[in-house]
């Protein structure tokens, strides 16, 4: 699985939504009802899984899975 | 004056996860205490409890929410849903700014807390769930209920050991009388069957150690009593003014009519070795309710099952009621499902109003050998038929927080 697929998988598992329902441009806050604590939960899981260091205060900037994928990809380089 | 009406019931306990099963168990006089098996409890002095085994089967919550909250909030949300459904309130039709939530518990949510603290010491701060901060503290269930239903009315959580939910119920009624709320969800929840909470409860020292005989371990007023048995669960009721309840044609189970409270002011964990302060609280409750002593039909007892606790309670009843105590039915139904600490009075309230509904006095179970110092009729082992209209409920917290609720039907 490439990074994008792994991130999408992790987001879907954390939020307990089906992977098919989760598009890259889904509005996490507005359409899935994610709250900031869930975003922190996701960041902690991403940091652990990829060995990267996304700061928890960065999460407020992300509103779609694609932005999270890009952030992980940048940090992995 | 407009009385405070009870119009909905929700219950989660070892004796049942809805009011019908709860009542069915209690009227049979069946013990629901069993050995603690969800973690290794073999080194605990007391390792039996009234446990809720199948919460998930009765839960309406999504797993995405369940993982964010402690089990004490989960039990409270299940009980709240039952109470709201039972009350027949249409949530679309009411002003949610005028719906309050008043809850009581003594310990907070330790299963979540201790698991995360363990992770913190092993993995460091990143090992801690971000939900820890909002999951463990005593007001968490109140917050979760308000968020779940969007209730925005005046709300509070009371922590006062075994009198917590008694005080929460009373505060709830006050906000209704003052017009601050139109409806209130009130009651309590407790989840003490966790490794750390059980340790603390054991250290307190009033728990029964009769581990080999779980079903007969909790024996209030019996000569061979050796302490109470812990229970877990939640009891939540819907409260509203009598006029509001009548106006919408609600089923009214009963009314909270008065309260009396006092504090022993003596020691952080022991009772004052005389019953004066408890007597004062009973007298105050009668005065607040405007009842004569001979009007009381039933008293739901504290039944701590310690040598001193049961003796003091018996003394207080004798001193307040004199010869008339013989005409009042007494019992401690919690001997069947355990003592829920901060949530106990809400369960006592529910069993009392169901007793009034069914004209049946629930028994104190495991009463076999009389104690000359506790020589009243505690309705041993078998329920008896009796018309009950006016009842008192005794709640006593550690160190002597005495709260007496007066409840009536019709």
- Residues of chain B with Cβ-Cβ distance to A37 below 8 Å are 68, 130-131, 134
The pLDDT of residue A33 is 83
Give the CATH number of the domain where residue B353 resides: 3.40.47.10
Residue B271 region by backbone torsions, left for phi larger than 0, else alpha for psi between -120 and 50, else beta: beta
The pLDDT of residue B410 is 79
Classified as helix, coil or strand, A35 is coil
| ipTM score for this prediction | 0.79
d(CA B401, CA B167): 10
Strand order from edge to edge, sheet including B298-300? B156-158, B99-104, B183-190, B233-241, B4-13, B254-263, B401-408, B390-397, B298-300, B329-331
β-bridge mates for residue B331, sequence order: B300
**Residue range(s) defining the domain that contains residue B363:** 259-408
- Residues of chain A with Cβ-Cβ distance to B134 below 8 Å are 37
d(CA B78, CA B276): 39
Whether the model pTM is above 0.90: yes
Q: How many domains does chain B have?
A: 2
**B21 and B39 inside one domain:** yes
Inter-chain contact B129–A41, Cβ cutoff 8 Å? Answer: yes
**B276 and B179 inside one domain:** no
Inter-chain contact A37–B68, Cβ cutoff 8 Å? Answer: yes
**B219 and B270 inside one domain:** no
Q: What is the pLDDT of residues B391-404, one digit of tens each?
A: 999 999 887 799 99
Give the CATH number of the domain where residue A28 resides: 1.10.1200.10
**B281 and B224 inside one domain:** no
Give percent of chain B with pLDDT exceeding 70. 100
Inter-chain contact A37–B63, Cβ cutoff 8 Å? Answer: no
Residue B305 region by backbone torsions, left for phi larger than 0, else alpha for psi between -120 and 50, else beta: left
Q: What is the pLDDT of residues A14-59, one digit of tens each?
A: 888 888 888 888 888 888 888 888 888 888 889 889 998 888 788 7
The pLDDT of residue A29 is 86
Q: Check whether B9 has a pLDDT greater than 80.
A: yes
Classify burial at B185, counting beta carbons within 10 Å of its beta carbon; exposed 0-12, middle 13-18, buried 19 or more.
Answer: buried
Q: What is the pLDDT of residues B350-397, one digit of tens each?
A: 999 999 999 999 999 999 999 999 999 999 999 999 999 999 999 998
To the nearest whole number, what is the mean pLDDT of chain B? 96
Q: What is the pLDDT of residues B10-38, one digit of tens each?
A: 999 999 999 999 999 999 999 999 999 99
Of the candidates A15, A16, A44, the beta carbon closest to that of B126 is on: A44
Inter-chain contact A16–B63, Cβ cutoff 8 Å? Answer: yes
**Residue range(s) defining the domain that contains residue A22:** 3-76
Q: Check whether B1 has a pLDDT greater than 80.
A: no
Q: Check whether B66 has a pLDDT greater than 90.
A: yes
């Amino acid at each position: 699985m490439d990074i994008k697929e792994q991130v999408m998988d992790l987001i879907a598992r954390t939020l307990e939504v089906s992977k098919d329902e989760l598009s890259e441009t889904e509005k996490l806050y507005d359409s899935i009802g994610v709250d900031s604590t869930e975003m922190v939960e996701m960041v902690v899981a991403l940091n652990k899984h990829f060995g990267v260091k996304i700061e928890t205060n960065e999460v407020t900037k992300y509103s779609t899975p694609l932005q999270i994928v890009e952030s992980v990809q940048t940090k992995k380089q | 004056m407009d009385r405070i009406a009870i119009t909905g019931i929700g219950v989660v306990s070892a004796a049942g996860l809805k009011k019908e099963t709860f009542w069915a168990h209690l009227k049979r006089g069946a013990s629901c205490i069993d050995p603690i098996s969800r973690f290794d409890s073999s080194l605990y002095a007391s390792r039996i409890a009234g446990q809720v085994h199948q919460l998930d089967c009765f839960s309406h919550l999504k797993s995405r929410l369940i993982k964010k909250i402690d089990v004490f909030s989960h039990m409270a949300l299940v009980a709240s849903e039952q109470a709201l459904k039972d009350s027949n309130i249409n949530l679309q039709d009411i002003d949610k700014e005028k719906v309050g939530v008043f809850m009581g518990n003594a310990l907070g949510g330790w299963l979540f807390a201790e698991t995360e603290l363990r992770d913190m010491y092993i993995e460091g701060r990143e090992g801690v769930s971000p939900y820890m901060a909002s999951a463990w503290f005593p007001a968490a269930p109140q917050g979760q209920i308000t968020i779940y239903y969007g209730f925005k009315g005046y709300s509070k959580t009371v922590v006062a050991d075994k009198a917590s939910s008694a005080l929460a119920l009373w505060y709830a009624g006050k906000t209704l009388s003052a017009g601050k709320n139109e409806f209130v969800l009130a009651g309590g929840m407790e989840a003490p069957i966790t490794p750390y909470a059980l340790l603390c409860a054991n250290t307190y020292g009033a728990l029964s150690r009769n581990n080999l005989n779980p079903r007969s371990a909790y024996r209030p007023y019996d000569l061979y009593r050796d302490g109470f048995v812990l229970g877990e669960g939640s009891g939540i009721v819907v409260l509203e003014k009598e006029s509001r309840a009548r106006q919408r044609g609600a089923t009214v189970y009963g009314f909270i009519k008065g309260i009396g409270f006092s504090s022993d002011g003596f020691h952080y964990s022991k009772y004052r070795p005389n019953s004066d302060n408890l007597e004062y609280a009973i007298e105050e409750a009668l005065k607040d309710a405007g009842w004569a002593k001979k009007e009381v039909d039933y008293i739901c007892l504290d039944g701590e099952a310690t040598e001193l606790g049961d003796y003091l309670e018996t003394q207080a009843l004798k001193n307040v009621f004199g010869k008339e105590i013989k005409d009042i039915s007494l019992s401690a139904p919690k001997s069947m499902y355990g003592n829920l600490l901060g949530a106990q009075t809400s369960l006592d309230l529910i069993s009392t109003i169901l007793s009034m509904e069914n004209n049946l006095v629930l028994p104190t179970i495991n009463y076999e050998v009389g104690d000359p110092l506790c020589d009243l009729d505690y309705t041993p082992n078998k329920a008896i038929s009796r018309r009950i209209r006016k009842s008192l409920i005794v709640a006593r917290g550690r160190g002597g927080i005495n709260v007496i609720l007066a409840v009536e039907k019709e």
